[in-house]
Amino acid sequence: MRFNFVTDELPRPGSAGHLAYNHALITHLAARGHRVTLFLTRPRLPVPVMRVARAGPYERVTGPRLLQAGPYLIATEPRAALAAAARAVLPGGMLRSAQGGRCNDVVLGAFITPDEAAWIAAQIAADPPDAILIDTIFRAPLLDQPVLAGMRSVVITHDLFHRRHAALRLAGYRVDPATLGRQDEVALLARAGAIVAIQPEEAELLRGMCPNRQVITVPMPADALPRPPGVMRNPDRLVFVGSDTLPNLDGLRWFFEAIWPGLRAARPTIKLDLVGDCGTAIGRLPVGVRRLGRLPDLAPTLHRAALAIAPLRTGSGLKVKLLDYARHGLWTVATAEARAGLARDILPPVFVADAPATFGATILAALAQQPEEEVALRYVSRHYAAAQIFAPLTDLLEGCRIID
C-alpha cells in the first residue's frame, strides 16, 4: 500500500522523542512492504544540505521549500537554509535566545500555512495514496483542502496539546500558540477519520472528545537491549536524557536547586550525566554534573549508569526517555507527571517521588537497593514489543477501517 506522512521535521531516532516515534512508525510500515512518501510542511532539516540514508524507510521526501537531488535533501529557501545551519550549531534554547526569544517561552507547534497546505494537497491529489497520516493537530488543517475530501486520513496526536497548553500557562510561561482550548483541539482532530493516541489514558480522553472517531493506542516501541557481559554499572552514576524543550529544562532546574545539593551532601561521590541538548541549554552546571551532548548510541552510557532520573513537572503524552531507560535495564526515579502514560504493571521499573526530600531520599534508597535489571527488561518486552505495539495501526491501515 501507499501512504503519505505529513509532518514538519525529518523523523529520525536519537534526537527527540516525537521524531524517534515518527521514525519507528514509518519504519514499521516500510518493513511490511508499504511505500511511504514524506511531506515536510517546512524544511526543518538538521543541516541545510543533508544526505538521506539509502536504506531509509521513506520512498520519497518532498515539501514546498525542499529539493531532493539524488540522496541529498536541500532547503531551497534562504531563510530555511540559514535556520538549518543555526540548528546544526546551536541547541534550540540558545537558538531562540539568539533570535531574541525568551528562554522560558515554549512553542507547542506551528500550524501549517494555507500556501503549504495548498502545495501539499495538490501533490497528494495528483497521486492519491491509500491513506494520509497527519503528524499532530498542527498539520490537520491540510484536510480542509477540497481536493482531499473523501481521502482516508489519520491524525497522530503525540499529546493532548490543550492540556499541555493550560499547564504551561498556569506555570507562568508564555506559550505559542497564544490560545488553544479543548474545543479548538476537538475541531482540529475531527477533520481526520481516525486518531492515534500515544498512551491509553489519552486514548480514553480522545474518545470522549471525539466520540464519532475511531481512536487507537500506539505507544513508542521499545525492544530490550540487555547490558553486555563485562560492562559494569557505576554505583554512583545517574543519567538524564533530554532535548532542550521547556519541560526538560524546568525539571532540571528544579532538580539542581531543590534536590541535588542534599544528594551531594549525603553522597559526595554521586555524579549525573546529561545526554542531549539539555546540558548545553541549561547553562552553568553544578559540581558533579557533566554534559555529554548528543550521542549516536545511548547504550554505552545507559548501560554504565546505576539509575536514571525524570524530574519533570509539566507535560503530557508519553515520556519516551523512560522507555529508553527501561529497555537498557535501567530503573528511574520519576515524578508522577513523568510516570504518567506508561503501561500499568504490577512492578514497573519506576520509583515515583514528587517532593524534593522524597525524590532525593528515593534516589539514595534505590542506589543502595540496586534494583534488578531483568525487571526493567521484562517490562518493556511485555508492553512495548514492536509487533504488539503496531498491531492496531496495522489493522487500521491495512484493513482500511477508517471512518470517512
| pLDDT tens sequence for the chain (404 residues) | 999 999 988 887 766 778 888 989 999 999 999 999 999 987 666 666 777 665 568 888 888 877 777 777 777 665 555 554 554 455 444 444 443 444 446 788 889 999 999 999 999 999 999 999 999 999 999 999 999 998 999 999 988 999 888 888 887 888 889 899 999 999 999 999 999 998 888 999 999 999 999 999 999 888 899 999 999 999 999 999 988 888 888 899 999 999 999 999 999 999 999 998 888 888 889 999 999 988 878 899 999 999 999 999 876 556 788 999 999 999 999 999 888 878 888 889 999 999 999 999 999 999 999 899 999 999 999 999 888 889 999 999 998 555 44
Residue 25, C-alpha cell as written in the block? 512508525
User: Is domain 237-383 given the CATH code 3.40.50.261 in the classification?
Assistant: no
Domains 2-221+385-398 and 237-383 share a fold: yes
- Reported for 382-388, long-range contacts at CB under 8 A and 24+ positions apart, including other chains, are 382/343, 382/345, 383/219, 383/343, 383/345, 384/219, 384/220, 384/221, 384/222, 384/223, 384/323, 384/327, 384/343, 385/221, 385/223, 386/24, 386/28, 386/221, 386/223
Q: What is the fold, at CATH topology level, of the domain defined by 2-221+385-398?
A: Rossmann fold (3.40.50)
pLDDT at 106: 76
**Separation of alpha carbons 377 and 373, rounded Å:** 6
Instruction: Indicate the pairing of strand 332-334 with strand 307-310.
Output: parallel
pLDDT at 276: 86
Look up residue 242 and give its amino acid: G
The pLDDT tens digits for 163-180 are 888 888 887 888 889 899
What residues form DSSP beta bridges with 214? Answer: 194
pLDDT at 105: 66
pLDDT at 43: 64
pLDDT at 94: 43
- For residue 28, give the DSSP letter: H
pLDDT at 83: 54
What residues form DSSP beta bridges with 134? Answer: 6, 155
Q: Among candidates 277, 316, 300, 164, which has minimal Cα distance to 228?
A: 300
pLDDT at 125: 93
CB atoms within 10 A of CB 276: 25
**Separation of alpha carbons 39 and 123, rounded Å:** 10
Q: How many CA atoms lie within 13 A of 52 on its CB side?
A: 21
Domain boundaries, the chain: 2-221+385-398, 237-383
Q: Among candidates 198, 238, 196, 236, which has minimal Cα distance to 220?
A: 198
**Separation of alpha carbons 256 and 370, rounded Å:** 23
* Count of residues in the chain: 404
pLDDT at 103: 43
Considering all CA atoms of the chain, what is the largest pairwise distance in Å, rounded to the nearest integer?
66
